[in-house]
Structure 1
Amino acid sequence: MEERLVILVGYDEAELLDIACVTTSLVTANRLGASPAYAVSVATPGSRAITCDSGLTLQGQRSLERVRGPLDTLIVSGGFGHQAAAENPRIVGHVRRLARESRRVASVCTGATVLAAAGLLNGKRVTTHWWYADQLASAYPEITVDPAPIYIRDGSVSTAAGVTSALDLTLAFIEEDHDAELARAVARGLVTYMQRPGNQAQMSMFTAIPAPTNCLVRRAVNYIASHLTSDLTTTALAADAGVSERHLTRLFIDDLGKAPGRFVRDARTGAAAHLLASTSLPVASVAAQCGFRTAETLRQAFVSRYGTPPSRYRATQSTTAT
């Protein structure tokens, strides 16, 4: 069979991990018997060496200007140099040209800015690194930017959140091209987590939220985090804080953008995700330890937040799997 030609677009101040997560995953798939195999190349302007944002130099393998399709996959890397790349008409023009000759197109991290500049994301739901989501949404209002998932696939165009999420997107491509077993074998070979579903949040709940500025909210959040199995109704939290339910709800919405009940549900679901991935506890036990009354209640909350049931999440995330 003919090889699957994959081109990664690099430029000065690209993020090396954005590139390496893709290339190493695909080459590992080849070593494990991918058929047809992947022919992977890094294309840079003039095929010259680029200085990555880590300061390391990466030699381009192909000239971006001379690459011709048809391609299987075109992937644009991200990095601190994404804005300069998006403002370079030669880079943007060749990305636009190659996208027309590719079966699928993707970006990693801020590489989405280059795809946007090429008009390839218009009308699509996309993601990028959460640090840059507002910047992308403001610059390109015709795009729907969702900063939460680690990757999004909208038709033939995929966007990944950044850095190691490139690994998850590439594993998804391998599974699509071949099968789940090869994707799992690649993940094992790379000594990484089994492939995360794309709609998994980029950050855990308690690292994602800014520290509450209101002292009552901050105290309530700290209590919730360490007492997930306690009575965490708005009534109980308000009584503990010495304020009315209505007042506490207003404080939570002003400070965290969500009501206390929603915050508690998300906190319990996030804790359950950690236990599902890191232990072999039965789902019913996970539910009990995280404050859910039944396994079904946990399942409903999990599907609502992650778009996948607990059993499927564990199958793809478990760090205890052999």
Structure 2
Amino acid sequence: MTVLVFPGVRLLDVTGPIEVFTTANEFGGRYRVRTVSPDGADVVTAAGTGLRVDLAAAQVQAASDVVVIPGGPEWPCLIKDDALLDAMRGLDARGCRTASICTGAFLLAAAGLLDGRKATTHWRFADQLALRYPKVTVEADALFVRDGHIMTSAGVTSGIDLSLALVEEHLGADVARAVAKDMVVFMQRPGGQSQFSVRTHTPRARQEMLRRVLDAVAEDPSAPHTLAAMARRAGVSTRHMTRLFHDEMHTTPARYVEQVRMEAAQAMLEDSDDPMATVARRTGFGSPESLRRAFTRNLGITPGAYRARFRTTHTGVDGKGA
């Protein structure tokens, strides 16, 4: 595994994949990690942390299983760095797989390595990638995309998703799953970049009475959290409860409860082999059919498909990896 680094590189773009591959070595992998820079000099990351470099990119002789191209916040300047682009082209020519992390896709595109290919990058920059490089087909919502020997990933942590997919390709799903569990991360996240947890994309309630209701839903998603039940818990009318959710949570009570139940169901499907009837009952959906409808509506896949995706990265030869 060879990681091309440069001044201003994003630290997690580098360390995330390295952690995946070195952890895989604990489960039978034989990855040798090398950091290289265009001139062999050590670099300082965008976070201000120094990174030791093993050698210059031109000194890499043996082919690498994986060449990792990280990104950085100063990518508009980096795509004009001829020495960096030349180093990348040389590594790509000597590597088996080339994988970019986040805005590293801009470097690949600037070097002409994405021409005629599908690719992705961080959702904030997907439109710019498509605009600057019309020969690239941008998959804006994918967590990572494979097209031929090149893979591209979205935001920084999706580099971990991509790396797990490569570990599965090299060593099998069992090893990739062991690495994911050891690192306490998803084997493969369903959905795309637009998927966020309930607690991260809803604002904190200002009203104490509403916070009590939200806590009750989170503590026991299987309870009968009807509008009337929540209103009674808060000591307000159903109309007032609906207004509180609208004003403070920007959603409806029913929608919020479903989102919490979805997260609970996802956790059960990831961590257990319980029958669908058990998952549905314990997470408040009641029946497997109600569970299936909720998953199809929210994620576009069935609960069974979700469970299967968590057990493997399910990447094909070409196209979306997520």
Structure-2-length-normalised TM-score: 0.68
Give matches, 1:29-178, under 5 Å: 29-34=24-29, 37-68=30-61, 70-122=63-115, 123-128=117-122, 133-141=123-131, 142=134, 143-147=137-141, 149-178=142-171
User: Can you give the 5+ residue segments of structure 2 that lack an aligned partner in the other structure?
Assistant: 205-209, 228-236, 241-245, 314-322
Structure-2 separation of matches of 1:153 and 1:241: 50
Structure-2 separation of matches of 1:65 and 1:85: 19
Q: Is the 8 A contact 1:152 1:199 kept in 2?
A: no
Q: Bigger CA drift: 274-283 or 86-95? A: 274-283
Structure-2 separation of matches of 1:196 and 1:210: 25
Give matches, 1:239-318, under 5 Å: 268-277=261-270, 282-299=275-292, 301-302=294-295, 305=299, 307=301, 309-312=305-308, 315=311
Give matches, 1:183-262, under 5 Å: 183-188=176-181, 191-193=182-184, 195-202=186-193, 203-207=195-199, 209=201, 230=225
Find the residue that maps to 2:146 and give its secondary structure: strand
State the match for 2:243 in structure 1: none
Q: Is the 8 A contact 2:225 2:257 kept in 1?
A: no
Q: Is the 8 A contact 2:20 2:163 kept in 1?
A: yes
Pairwise CA distance, 1:116: 2.6
1:314–1:95 CA distance, 2 compared to 1 (3 A): closer
CA deviation vs aligned residue, 1:184-223 (integer Å, no higher than 9, x gap): 33345xx3226421545555342564759xxxxx99xx79
What percent identity do the matched residue pairs reach? 28
Structure-2 separation of matches of 1:32 and 1:116: 34
Q: What letter corresponds to residue 298 of structure 1 in structure 2? A: L
Structure-2 separation of matches of 1:110 and 1:82: 7
Find the residue that maps to 1:23 and give its secondary structure: helix
State the match for 2:320 in structure 1: none
Pairwise CA distance, 1:126: 1.6
Number of paired residues? 290
State the match for 2:8 in structure 1: 13
Q: What letter corresponds to residue 85 of structure 1 in structure 2? A: L
1:30–1:290 CA distance, 2 compared to 1 (3 A): closer
User: Can you give the 5+ residue segments of structure 1 that lack an aligned partner in the other structure?
Assistant: 1-5, 213-217, 233-238, 243-250, 318-322
Structure-1-length-normalised TM-score: 0.68
Q: Is the 8 A contact 2:119 2:151 kept in 1?
A: no
1:156–1:87 CA distance, 2 compared to 1 (3 A): same
Q: Is the 8 A contact 1:184 1:194 kept in 2?
A: no
CA deviation vs aligned residue, 1:279-310 (integer Å, no higher than 9, x gap): 77653233234443522442454366165624
Structure-2 separation of matches of 1:85 and 1:298: 47
Find the residue that maps to 1:13 and give its secondary structure: coil
1:29–1:309 CA distance, 2 compared to 1 (3 A): same
The higher relative CO (CA closer than 8 Å, separation ≥ 6) is in 2
